Structure 1
């Protein structure tokens, strides 16, 4: 026997899945880099650059924090009941993005994963900072809907860290039937796929959850008749 799930129910399930996976990734990744042990790094380190591990830690810890904060910032109930907390968490999120993005640029420069991965992380970091700036500017101007749109884009880029792990897991699973796949191929493809898929999903959410309702609401308003003199 199957039970139909309403559209709002499916949306709620999707939101819970995003929140749980983001929080799980944040806790697991953050705890891994709190040890301070370079040998525990899941990212290959450049043996010629002693500070490479430091740049990864400086990126990973605030990135884990903002992944943890993000789902709560989109909770409309929290915003309505505790706007001060929403604002305070927003500032923490903003500082975390800036630190994580700048550290990612430095870490990518030292990366041993190849030029394709470096370019991907450069673009991701630039888009991360740009969407954050636009979201901050929008809320400073009192444009709440526009602020939300830009932060959806920003958090989708943050969520690429979660998607990256999922794509790597899928790629490793495919090595069985496709033994010619190397881990380098899987990692490079997963980096690009996680960024592109998250960006596309963000635009889908923006169009169908934010822009489309506004258009329908505007279209449903009765028009005032005009008379020619």
Structure 2
């Protein structure tokens, strides 16, 4: 049991570190280094409609801000200390996460038709948007039904999609810079690779980290205690 708790804490710490580093990187690249996204836009091929750059940039900025907010809110709500000692914060923060995901999905839906690589990636992004929102709503529905363990599992699946952009660029970098594959194809492989990896990582965490059912038990002083 102690080994499982230690593994869970280590994974949570790793997740926090990766999330923070990636948010800092994204903020630097998109708001300081290349605020016009000139490098990223230069790779766009197969786009059927012209990109209205000022509008696209504003949508992208909103997308980034709320993607980071979703990443932060989700990370906070996986803390058992927050759930056990600050239940109201956990609940409010959960709705912040839901709102953030909704904005991410809407802005991504706008940008999908302009995806690098054309229609094949536009379809993939729209499918991922539906899955992301569906998983998040499923998590909310489960907690409304007081199914804590099921809620946690659906949240793990939902939160994995917060790292979609990270995985896409990771795969793209490996295929393009490591194997010399043309950028558009590398990006396409990255998009579909990220979709698979999202599900794989979520199921790994559910099956090997969160192996014990989650439960909320009352303590002697009538405060709620979380057993994770």
> Is the CA contact 1:52–1:110 (under 8 Å) kept in the aligned structure 2?
no
**Residue in structure 1 matched with residue 79 of structure 2 by the alignment:** 75
CA distance in 1, matches of 2:30, 2:177: 26
The farther-off stretch of 137-146 and 91-100 is: 137-146
Shift of 1:182: 1.1
Shift of 1:7: 5.1
| 1:119-152 deviations in Å (ceiling 9; x for gaps) | 2111110001101111111112222111111111
CA distance in 2, matches of 1:93, 1:42: 30
**Residue in structure 2 matched with residue 184 of structure 1 by the alignment:** 184
CA distance in 2, matches of 1:41, 1:12: 40
1:194 aligns with 2:194: yes
**Residue in structure 2 matched with residue 26 of structure 1 by the alignment:** 23
**Residue in structure 1 matched with residue 212 of structure 2 by the alignment:** 213
Cα distance change on mapping 1:11 and 1:168 into 2, 3 Å? farther
Cα distance change on mapping 1:194 and 1:102 into 2, 3 Å? same
CA distance in 2, matches of 1:11, 1:141: 26
1:102 aligns with 2:106: yes
**Residue in structure 1 matched with residue 204 of structure 2 by the alignment:** 204
1:15 aligns with 2:12: yes
Match of 2:212, SS state, is helix
CA distance in 1, matches of 2:87, 2:81: 9
Cα distance change on mapping 1:42 and 1:74 into 2, 3 Å? farther
1:148 aligns with 2:145: no
Greater relative CO (CA pairs within 8 A, separation 6+): 2
Match of 1:142, SS state, is coil
| 1:93-125 deviations in Å (ceiling 9; x for gaps) | 110000110110111023343122112111110
Scaled by the length of structure 2, what TM-score is found?
0.78
Cα distance change on mapping 1:42 and 1:29 into 2, 3 Å? farther
Scaled by the length of structure 1, what TM-score is found?
0.78
1:127 aligns with 2:124: no
Match of 1:48, SS state, is coil
The farther-off stretch of 186-195 and 164-173 is: 164-173
> Is the CA contact 1:25–1:64 (under 8 Å) kept in the aligned structure 2?
no
CA distance in 1, matches of 2:116, 2:195: 20
Over aligned residue pairs, what C-alpha RMSD do you find? 2.6
- What is the number of equivalent residue pairs in this alignment? 205
1:170 aligns with 2:167: no
Shift of 1:208: 3.3
> Is the CA contact 1:117–1:188 (under 8 Å) kept in the aligned structure 2?
yes
CA distance in 2, matches of 1:81, 1:208: 26
> Is the CA contact 1:131–1:153 (under 8 Å) kept in the aligned structure 2?
yes
Structure 2, unaligned stretches of length 5 or more? 214-228
